[in-house]
Amino acid sequence: MVVAVALVTGPTTVRGSRAALLIIDVQDCFLSGGSLAVKDGDKVIPVINKMREKFEHRFAVVVISQDWHCPDHVSFTTQHKDTAPFDVINLTYNDKGKLCFGDSVPRSFPHAVDCEGNSNVTVLPQTLWPEHCVQNVTSGPTSAKISSRLTIRENDIVVKKGYSCGVDSYSAFFDNGGFRQTELDDLLKRNKIELVVVVGLALDYCVYYTSKDALDLGYKVLTVTDATMGVAAETTSAALEDMTKIGVQLILADDLEGALQERSQAVDPGMMSMCLAAILGILLLFYVIRI
């Protein structure tokens, strides 16, 4: 019975590896009408939905990440005097990954500590953003809601990111300092995932850093370039260039389609041996019963 079902739906693999689809931050705040709308960002939604429609069964796990910021998150321009969106400031963290008071973080900021005398600090550049994807906000420009136009299924797993008030998190795996991680790697490892297909927003930030971390964590990574969109031309081309260099495979949604179709015409060796084992088992059963 199990074998029969598996034959109808095909294996949960992409190019022979057990696969997960990672849909990054397709949320109201990053779409048209959102406070940090990615230009043409809405165009990724039908591409992702179509990918799911056609290849749902190829993904053992589908993860939807959600940028989920405190209302006074350190990455918001509103938290820093005399700054504008896209300004870059330096933030200092102590050896426990806690944000330190300093030039750009006043003592009134509730999520920072005094790092006086701490010699082992890390300085991170922080791009400042308009308030976006605020926890529990479900309407208006800062809404953190996953787009209602995105196909969502009951078994999809939502992974929240960026919820530490004092540190930003572009990647769905780690915060920007690598201080803490989300449950994503554990979840993929538990499901024996070998390959991740990354889509969503935005190409030059969260999709880029998620792809990069996935590669560092040992996964094969396919990033679907027509199922993602960048914030700015310069950072987008830099991200694409770096991904190519480090070994992220950049593909078009149609390439995934082509690769899968080729594979399903060939007989999968794993599936073949499963069928043989099942037939042998049944023959053995008959033999035993007759005796």
User: Buried (b) or exposed (e) across 154-176, using 16+ Cβ within 10 A?
Assistant: eebeebbbbbbbbbbbbbbbbbb
Known catalytic residues? 25, 161, 206
Nearer to ligand NAG, 5 or 88 (CB): 88
Q: Collect all residues with Cβ–Cβ distance below 8 Å to 50 and sequence separation of at least 6.
A: 253
**Binding at 71: pick from ligand NAG, Zn ion, none (beta carbon under 5-8 Å per type):** ligand NAG
Nearer to Zn ion, 22 or 115 (CB): 22
25 binds Zn ion (CB under 5 A): no
Interface positions with ligand NAG (CB under 6 A):
70-71, 89-90, 135-136
The helix (H) or strand (E) run that includes residue 89 is strand 88-93
Angle between helices 208-216 and 233-246 (to 10 degrees): 20
**Binding at 136: pick from Zn ion, ligand NAG, none (beta carbon under 5-8 Å per type):** ligand NAG
Nearer to ligand NAG, 115 or 207 (CB): 115
Residue 63 Cβ vs ligand NAG, minimum distance, rounded to whole Å: 21
Q: What does residue 56 show for φ and ψ, rounded to 5 degrees?
A: -45, -50
Strands (E), the chain: 13-14, 17-24, 59-67, 88-93, 99-100, 112-113, 122-127, 157-161, 195-201, 220-229, 249-251
- Judge whether 221 and 196 are in contact, CB under 8 Å: yes
Nearer to Zn ion, 42 or 168 (CB): 168
Beta bridge pairs of residue 196: 20, 221
Site for Zn ion in 27-86 (CB under 5 A): 67
- Cα–Cα distances (Å) from 163 to 59, 97, 143, 192, 228, in that order, read 27, 14, 15, 27, 23
Nearer to ligand NAG, 142 or 211 (CB): 142
Among candidate residues 126, 224, 213, 124, the one with its CA nearest the CA of residue 173: 213
Residue 231 Cβ vs Zn ion, minimum distance, rounded to whole Å: 11
Q: Which residue has the tokens 């053995």?
A: 284
Nearer to ligand NAG, 72 or 226 (CB): 72
Residue 72 Cβ vs ligand NAG, minimum distance, rounded to whole Å: 9
Cα 173 from Cα 211, distance rounded (Å): 10
**Binding at 67: pick from Zn ion, ligand NAG, none (beta carbon under 5-8 Å per type):** Zn ion
Residue 160 Cβ vs ligand NAG, minimum distance, rounded to whole Å: 11
Site for Zn ion in 153-182 (CB under 5 A): 162
Backbone Cα Rg of the chain: 22
Residue 283 Cβ vs ligand NAG, minimum distance, rounded to whole Å: 57
Residue 196 Cβ vs Zn ion, minimum distance, rounded to whole Å: 21
152 C-beta neighbours (distance < 10 Å), count: 17
Count of residues of this chain found to bind Zn ion when the rule CB under 5 A is applied = 2
Residues that bind Zn ion (CB under 5 A): 67, 162
